[in-house]
Structure 1
Amino acid sequence: MILVTGATGNVGRNLVHELVDAGERVRALTRDPATADLPDGVETVAGDLTRPETLPAALQGVDRAFLFPVHGALEAFLAAAEQAGTRHIVLLSSDSVTFPRPGWIGERHLACEQAVADSAMSWTFVRPGLFMANDLGWAAPIRRDGTVRGSYGDAAMAPVDERDIAAIAVHALLAPDPAKTYEVTGPQSLSQIDRVRVIGETLGIATRFEEVPREDTRRQLLDRLPPPAADFLLDQLSAARSTPVPVLTPVEQITGRPARTYAEWVAHHAASFARRHD
């Protein structure tokens, strides 16, 4: 039995589908099973990594688990997993742990990695870079007037499709390789300006990126992030203007197919960017 935590998230939902397609027995941990909308055959159980009392039942009979990184909440899960006889953990981490200065985000992922490494179970760390799914935050302004406003528009990243992150995690669950780490990017180095242009070209709509002062973007980020996280993300964008994020190839090496392009990701999420008509 494979347990997937964060089963309704960007990576977890795709991971569940791939595991079911591979014929695996899957149990999905989610706060609200009634709204999970997961494939037939998946055992969906109510639980939360921040509620330790929900974990022993969820882990019963589980030999491998995909672990979503909830900072400060993994120790109880790992203790329950060890007690249940779980053998292998695949942790969703971040490439920020490899930075010379991991910053606020990287330090939290490093703490999660350390907690897993200190457990009695074998482990694999999946360290993606920027998620393409983050750009779904642009959907509302693109629907409104086609304009994305942000800072450091020329900062070049190599965003990765959440389906490709899931594919790496599937490999790590089905063919466990103890103490293996996978750093994952998409196949192209693209600036924010490039990505907004690709959205327009893929969907056949007019789009543009409008540069705004850093403080304007920071105020927007603070609506959903603590100040240290907002500052870290903006600092990474600033650094990427002069040092583009390198493109890595583990998706192709492991799956035998190219990593999905940004245009393919946009086409997959076309409905999110489409303008509504009354």
Structure 2
Amino acid sequence: MTHQLNEELEQTLADGDFYFEALGDGRYRSSWHSQGAWNPHEQHMAPASGILAYALENFQPRADMRIARISYEIHGLIHAGEFEISTRMVRPGRTIELIEAEMTAKGRTSIVARAWRVIQSDTSAVAGIEDKEIPGPDACSVRDISEKWPGGYIKSIEMRANDELRPGRGFAWLRTPYALVDTGDATALSSLVGMIDTANGVVPRVDPGEGTWIYPNVDLQIHMYRMPVGEWLGLDVQQSFGTDGIGLTSTVLHDETGPFGRAEQILTVRSR
């Protein structure tokens, strides 16, 4: 059955050194590099959130504004293969704007993303960041995250982590050799956002290889007080499981120049 499923998927997925193939008119096709970890026939939320960020960035862009927050609501299975993204203005404004992107596949909504765009101005006189820096990727050890997690997306990323990495706490650096979109025009923002959801698997409280528990996230909230740059994404992660089936993965986001924001993921913790 699994072999038949993989053959069917192979006929519908793009093949190349990218996560998504642009088909025009807001349509895309995912590649094997986008494959999820929980189910072989779904996309991983990380690159899916990246392609939605790409759509939001390119929707009626304004040079005087930038995206400060993106909120993702996961409506259900993120189907692999072809899908469509539609964008709209929710709340126009002179200094703030709220925009929305919706991913649909097989006639159903997969993800809805909303972003606040905020006017930019010089606030260097009062600037200050309280999040602590972490050692850079060169100071960390190479880790094979695919030893714990399956899927094409996990195999596509390079991970380096601190030696003190443990269940529930630690930091890691990620990068990928693959372009977010085959058009090659994705910014550092969209490309790095396309790896943030990996945070939920960096310091898992329960080894996913045990097969006893699953803990997928139902959302992803990203706040950025600075625009990220470069190809490395740093994730300073802590993960908590409550006693009633709900967990939380909280992350300080870094690039090689320092912290740039935070991410939160609510988890549905379930026994198999």
TM-score scaled by length of structure 1:
0.28
Q: Give 1 or 2: higher strand fraction.
A: 2
TM-score scaled by length of structure 2:
0.29
Which structure is larger by alpha-carbon Rg, 1 or 2? 1
